[in-house]
Copies of this chain bind each other. A is one copy, B any other.
Amino acid sequence: MKLATYKNGTRDGELRVVSRDLTRCVAVPDIAPTLQAALDDWLEAAPRLKERYAQLNTGQLACVEPFDETRCASPLPRAYQWADGSAYLNHVELVRRARGAEVPESFYTDPLMYQGGSDAFLAPRAPIPLRDPAWGLDFEGEVGVITGDVPLGATVELCARAIRLVLLVNDVTLRNLIPCELAKGFGFFQSKPATAFSPVAVTPDELGGDWHGGKLHLPLLVDYNGRRFGQPEAGVEMQFSFPELIAHVAKTRELCAGSIVGSGTVSNRDRRVGSACLAEVRMIEIIEDGAAHTPFMQVGDTVRIEMRDDAGASIFGAIEQKVVAHD
């Protein structure tokens, strides 16, 4: 099934079940007022939501409205956890090569993850506020999952069963704040402002054969200022599956229902498919030409992140954001 959250003036918005073709939606206040409420009580709520989804798809419901992506908040407008990985080693290798460093052997077996701020996400069509263009604003196209409860020390198999929903991510990053933050030793903090997610989150069964091995095997379509910037395939070069990333978190603590876990910037070794962030293009320029030419995002620049099924239909709706100045 497909779920979204409509803005309604409250902090957590209103849960909506969305038709498979993203044309219609329906509120479900009798099942769960918000997505977090549904996740908190998933075993009870999910079968009822699925039934409603089936009825919506077959035209059996009253009170149906046209689905409007511009009315969407983040599926979880605020969440209790946003833990982001960096599972595409090609991206890591490029970062390292651009500064003349090797990738440690351990990076191929031990995931890189950081804890992101989760208290206030950007809506999928919300502008990206930029206080200082010198901070080096970048987008990062990713895939993410929303989990149920995961106990401390959960196995990879148990983590696989805890994946409730899949969605897309724009992990907004302030590149020029990163070197100083990493030098301080505590990791990303100010360099990771509010993240945006796709309008729609979908259950893994909705992805059919494109979801296997705990990965989503479809190209992530990234447009920058109206032109295709990249379409890297999200499955094959993902070094760690989502269940493995979740198990990495669960090694030392439990995860509560509604935790979001991200893949990191989708990246392929085949450069013909382009990139899902500006930094990667800049690193390739540094490696090939000795200097980066592609500027970071400026006020007015736009990014669009989407994924389409084999028939060309949008699965999650589109993240579509424009940079605006913020005083």
Contacts and interface: CB of A to CB of B under 8 A. Distances in A.
30 contacts: A79-B80, A80-B80, A81-B117, A81-B119, A83-B117, A83-B189, A106-B184, A112-B186, A114-B186, A114-B189, A115-B115, A115-B116, A115-B187, A119-B259, A120-B253, A120-B254, A120-B255, A120-B256, A129-B152, A131-B152, A131-B153, A152-B326, A153-B326, A153-B327, A190-B249, A190-B251, A190-B252, A192-B252, A193-B253, A194-B254
Interface in A171-208: 174, 177, 180, 182-194
Interface of A: 11, 40, 78-81, 83, 86, 104, 106-107, 110, 112-120, 129, 131, 135, 152-153, 174, 177, 180, 182-194, 248-249, 251-256, 258-259, 326-327
A115 B193 CA distance: 12
Contact of A185 (B187, B249, B258): B187
A279 to B, nearest CB: 15
A190 B248 contact: yes
Which of A79, A115, A255 has most B Cβ within 10 Å?
Answer: A115
- Copies of this chain held together in the complex: 2
A110 B81 CA distance: 26
Nearest to A248: B190
Nearest to A115: B115
A113 B188 CA distance: 9
A185 to B, nearest CB: 5
A193 B104 CA distance: 25
Contact of A256 (B11, B81, B116): B11
Given A186-B188, A190-B248, A194-B254, 20 more contacts: A11-B256, A80-B120, A81-B118, A104-B183, A106-B180, A106-B184, A110-B184, A114-B186, A115-B116, A115-B117, A115-B188, A119-B255, A120-B254, A120-B256, A135-B252, A185-B187, A187-B188, A190-B252, A192-B252, A194-B253
- Please indicate which of the listed interface residues A174, A177, A251, A258 has the most CB atoms of chain B within 10 Å of its own CB: A251
A249 B152 CA distance: 29
